[in-house]
Each structure stands twice: as structure tokens, then as C-alpha cells.
């Protein structure tokens, strides 16, 4: 058994784990990141695309904002297309100048991994059977992470464990029965998403509600489009040949349909839609952050940004512990993070409800949703509330 010691043991090398490790490193706090998969898998996961200003600010603060500043697409506004009719929201004008930046999660992850490895800081890929131990309050034990690497058993002793291992991770699952309260909603649809080497013809994102279902026109760069359509949760991709996807996008985008430029499709996937929160996010010396504690439907572009907000709060608290000898931040972490999480849950649920058809068994509710979106598009006050949530509430 190989034994090591660090200050913070981090499970997961997604955005939450990597941002946490990088911010701690900037404050001289040691951490080891244990990641189950290999580097290529982690860097290749095509997920989020829109960064709130606080996320951009934090990435810059921890020294990984260079390429983001050069290549990120800064957006002042977003479009809503209702039954084919386009309305543009000038979010920047409505929020005192706030903007969002389009920069793929894959690129954020690549920048963070490159920075960690350039500093020669510990990041263990293909760490198998990671098991959090000894973190329970009053256990008298040392918190530690057992794992296997290249067939050898390891034990990483630490002061704290950060469970940044996503929705399917081991940390939340390791908690004893009854330790958590779960809140969950599963939606009766999913998103079929494609990534295409096709220059986006729209400068901004377009969210579309139509009788045929939801569509989203997004992008990754001046050369790459990112496009989604609402589909069944159990969708068979065999039933979606590319010509059908392109046609459905155009039909659902109405007056904006002509903006859909075809190109080589490099990825096709179906994303399930759920809202999920596990409370509380602290258990003794184990702290959950990011998707390990919550999932939002991607309609509000909040998932990655929420993970980064959790990590800002957690790293603030850990820095306070090590630099000032105070545990006030650690004690307040869960409550502080959950307050923001539920505001993002509400916004993501609201956007998802307004923009999607829930099916024939919800005919009345779908008409109410249609009316709500019509009202929002007619009201400066309602559009302002949409804008201030979309660009990101104050940290």
C-alpha cells in the first residue's frame, strides 16, 4: 500500500474539481485530484457552452483565462423565437452591462488540465475504486481516499475531501442512508444535440418554442455550431438521420430557420433532462460540489456555472481555514451554496417549462406555458428578470 498525504483530496477532474485544485494552488494549499477516467475522455466530454461573468472572472483570477479571453465569444444578448417569431433580449442593457461568454466546457477543462500539469501538481488519471473514508464528524479517524492505480493500492490521507465527482460519482453515494435529503424532477423529454463544422450565421443564441417542440441554436466558435432539438427521453438515434435533424431545426426555428448552416457533424448525443438537489453539501470533512450535489436542465445554461460558484464558496472557506484559522466559511458552505443552487434551479425549471411542450397529457399546462412566454416577451419587467438570471445572479 502506497501512502501519501495532502491537505485537500479532490475526487473528480471535471470543472468543479479542476477549478478547486487550481484556486487552492494559487493560495499555496496542497491538493491531489483523483480522476477515474483518462485525460482524453475528460477533455472530450462535450457539455456546457455558456459561461456567466463570475465564471469568466474566476478563471481569469486563477490564471487560466488567457485562451478564454482570446477565443471566447462575448454576447450582449440572446434571442427567443416563439412560434417562428424572433425577439432579441439586450441582456447587457438590462443588467447594467453584464454579458455571457460562449466557450466550450471542453476548452475550459483542457485549459485547467494544462495548467495543473504545467505546474507539475498531482492529478491522477485512471484512479480506480476511489473510496472516501474517515470523514464523518467525530469519527476520530483521518479523512482519506483509498484508490488503485496501475494495479497498486494507494491511500491518500488529507484534512478534507471534496466530492467533485459528478452525478454518478462515489462521494454522494458513500454517505450513510438518511444523511441526505433529495429533491428531484425528471422531465418527459430530452435534448438531441449535434456539433457541426458549420459557421454559425447567428451572432447570438436562439431559444425556440414551437408546436413541434423546442430548439436551440448555439455555437462553439466562428466555425462550429452547437444545435439542439427537444426529443423523447428514450429517443432512438437511428430514427434521426442527419437530414431529418437539419429539417427539424429549420422548422422549429421559424424566421431564424434560414440561419441553420449544414456542415460535417462531429458529435450526436441525447442529454436527459432532470432537476436534482442533494442536501446538505457538507458531511463532516467531506464537501460536495458541482453535479455531485445538483443537476439542472441545460435550458438555463447553469450547470457548469453553478459548479464554479460552489467551488468559489468552498475554496473561500478552505483558504480562510488554512490562512486565518477560521472554520466559519466551512460551517456556512452548504447553506450558502444551496441558496444559490435553488435560485438557479428555479430559473432552469422556469425556462424549461416555458420553452418545451410537455405532451398531450398536459394540454392545459402547455397553453399556460405558451401564455407565460407570450407575456414575458411583451413585458420589459419580465424580460429583465430573465436577463438578470441568465447572465448570472451576483455571487
Query: Among all residues, which ones are annotated catalytic?
Result: 75, 207, 298, 302, 390
Q: Give the range of 130-138, 172-180, 293-301, 354-362 binding ligand PHB by CB under 6 A.
A: 293-301
- Which of the choices ligand FAS, ligand PHB, none does residue 386 contact, using the CB cut-off of 5 to 8 A by kind? none
Phi and psi at 230, nearest 5°, equal -65, 140
Asked if residue 11 binds ligand FAS (CB under 6 A), the reply is yes
225 binds ligand PHB, rule: CB under 6 A: no
Q: Which is nearer to ligand FAS, 84 or 280 (CB)?
A: 280
Total number of residues binding ligand FAS (CB under 6 A)? 32
DSSP sequence for 187-255: EEEEEEEEEEE---SSSS-EEEE-TT--EEEEEEETTEEEEEEEE-TT--GGG--HHHHHHHHHHHHGG
- Window of 29-37, 109-117, 294-302, 322-330 that interacts with ligand PHB by CB under 6 A: 294-302
Dihedral pair phi/psi, residue 256, rounded to 5°: -100, 0
C-alpha cell at position 110 = 483542457
Largest CA distance in the chain: 65
Closer Cβ to ligand FAS, 74 or 255, answer by number: 74
- Min CB(153)–ligand PHB separation in Å: 39
Distance in Å, CB of 16 to ligand FAS, minimum: 3
Side-chain-facing half-sphere of 347: CA atoms under 13 Å? 23
Could you tell me the sign of the dihedral formed by the alpha carbons of 41, 44, 47, 53, in that order?
A: positive
Number of H-type helices and E-type strands within the chain: 11, 21
Nearest Cα to 75, choosing from 89, 87, 62, 85? 89
Interface with ligand FAS by CB under 6 A: which range of 45-53, 114-122, 238-246, 343-351?
45-53
Q: What, of ligand PHB, ligand FAS, none, does residue 172 touch, CB below 5 to 8 Å by kind?
A: none
Number of Cβ atoms within 10 Å of the Cβ of 393: 14
Considering only residues 251, 307, 330, 373, which one is a binding residue for ligand FAS as defined by CB under 6 A? 307
Q: Are 237 and 268 in contact (CB under 8 A)?
A: yes
Q: Which does residue 81 touch among ligand FAS, ligand PHB, none (CB within 5 to 8 A, set by kind)?
A: none
Q: How far apart are CA 75 and CA 98, in angstroms?
A: 9
What x-and-dash track marks residues 295-334 binding ligand PHB by CB under 6 A?
---xx-x---------------------------------
Closest CA to 158 of 11, 315, 316: 11
Read off the C-alpha cell for 315.
475554496
Q: Which of 298, 309, 338, 392 binds ligand FAS (CB under 6 A)?
A: 298
Q: Return the half-sphere exposure (C-beta side, CA atoms, 13 A cut-off) of residue 249.
A: 24
Peptide bond into 278 cis (omega under 30): no
Binding of residue 218 to ligand PHB (CB under 6 A):
yes
Cell numbers placing 80 = 427567443
| Span 198-217, contacts to ligand PHB by CB under 6 A | 205
Tell me whether residue 33 or residue 253 sits nearer to ligand FAS (CB atom): 33
Per the CB < 8 A criterion, the answer to whether 125 and 117 are in contact is no
- The distance of closest approach from Cβ of residue 367 to ligand FAS in the complex, given in angstroms and rounded to an integer, is 28
Residues in 238-257 at the binding interface with ligand PHB, rule: CB under 6 A: none
For residues 42 and 173, what is the distance between their CA atoms, to the nearest angstrom? Answer: 21
Report the site for ligand FAS in 85-114 (rule: CB under 6 A). 105
Which residue number, 34 or 351, has a Cβ lying nearer to ligand FAS? 34
Of positions 49, 65, 77, 134, contacts ligand FAS by CB under 6 A: 49
Site for ligand FAS in 276-295 (CB under 6 A): 290-291
Stretch 336-375 residues interacting with ligand PHB (CB under 6 A): none
Positions in the binding site for ligand PHB (CB under 6 A): 48-50, 205, 218, 226, 298-299, 301
Positions in the binding site for ligand FAS (CB under 6 A): 11-17, 34-37, 42, 47-49, 105, 127, 130, 164-166, 169-170, 271, 290-291, 298, 301-304, 307
Amino acid at each position: 500500500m502506497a501512502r501519501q498525504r495532502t491537505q485537500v483530496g479532490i475526487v473528480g477532474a471535471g470543472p468543479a474539481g479542476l477549478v478547486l485544485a487550481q484556486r487552492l494552488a494559487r493560495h499555496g494549499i496542497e491538493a491531489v485530484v483523483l480522476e477515474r477516467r483518462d485525460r482524453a475522455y475528460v477533455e472530450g466530454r462535450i457539455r456546457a457552452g455558456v459561461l456567466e461573468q463570475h465564471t469568466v472572472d474566476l478563471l481569469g483570477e486563477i490564471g487560466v483565462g488567457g485562451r478564454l479571453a482570446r477565443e471566447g465569444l462575448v454576447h450582449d444578448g440572446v434571442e427567443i423565437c416563439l412560434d417562428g417569431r424572433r425577439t432579441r433580449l439586450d441582456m447587457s442593457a438590462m443588467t447594467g452591462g453584464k454579458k455571457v461568454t460562449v466557450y466550450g466546457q471542453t476548452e475550459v477543462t483542457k485549459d485547467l488540465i494544462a495548467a495543473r500539469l504545467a505546474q507539475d501538481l498531482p492529478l491522477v488519471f485512471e484512479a480506480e475504486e476511489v473510496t472516501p473514508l474517515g470523514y464523518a464528524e467525530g469519527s476520530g479517524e483521518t479523512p482519506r481516499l483509498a484508490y488503485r492505480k496501475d494495479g497498486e493500492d494507494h491511500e491518500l490521507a488529507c484534512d478534507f475531501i471534496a466530492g467533485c465527482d459528478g452525478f454518478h460519482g462515489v462521494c454522494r453515494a458513500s454517505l450513510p442512508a438518511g444523511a441526505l435529503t433529495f429533491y428531484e424532477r425528471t422531465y418527459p423529454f430530452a435534448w438531441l444535440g449535434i456539433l457541426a463544422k458549420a459557421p454559425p450565421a447567428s451572432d447570438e443564441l436562439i431559444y425556440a418554442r414551437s408546436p413541434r417542440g423546442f430548439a436551440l441554436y448555439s455555437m462553439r466558435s466562428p466555425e462550429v455550431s452547437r444545435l439542439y432539438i427537444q426529443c423523447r427521453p428514450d429517443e432512438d438515434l437511428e430514427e434521426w438521420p442527419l437530414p431529418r435533424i437539419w429539417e427539424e431545426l429549420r422548422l422549429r426555428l421559424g424566421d431564424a430557420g434560414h440561419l441553420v448552416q449544414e456542415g460535417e457533424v462531429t458529435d450526436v448525443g441525447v442529454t436527459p433532462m432532470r432537476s436534482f438537489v442533494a442536501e446538505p453539501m457538507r458531511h463532516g470533512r467531506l464537501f460536495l460540489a458541482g453535479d455531485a450535489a445538483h443537476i439542472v436542465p441545460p435550458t438555463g445554461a447553469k450547470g457548469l456555472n453553478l459548479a464554479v460558484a460552489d467551488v468559489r464558496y468552498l475554496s473561500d472557506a478552505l483558504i480562510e481555514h488554512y490562512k486565518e484559522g477560521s472554520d466559519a466559511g466551512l460551517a456556512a458552505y452548504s447553506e450558502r451554496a444551496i441558496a444559490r443552487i435553488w435560485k438557479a434551479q428555479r430559473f432552469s425549471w422556469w425556462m424549461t417549462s416555458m420553452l418545451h411542450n410537455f405532451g398531450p397529457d398536459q394540454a392545459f399546462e402547455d397553453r399556460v406555458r405558451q401564455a407565460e412566454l407570450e407575456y414575458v416577451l411583451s413585458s420589459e419587467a419580465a424580460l429583465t428578470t430573465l436577463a438578470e438570471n441568465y447572465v448570472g445572479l451576483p455571487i
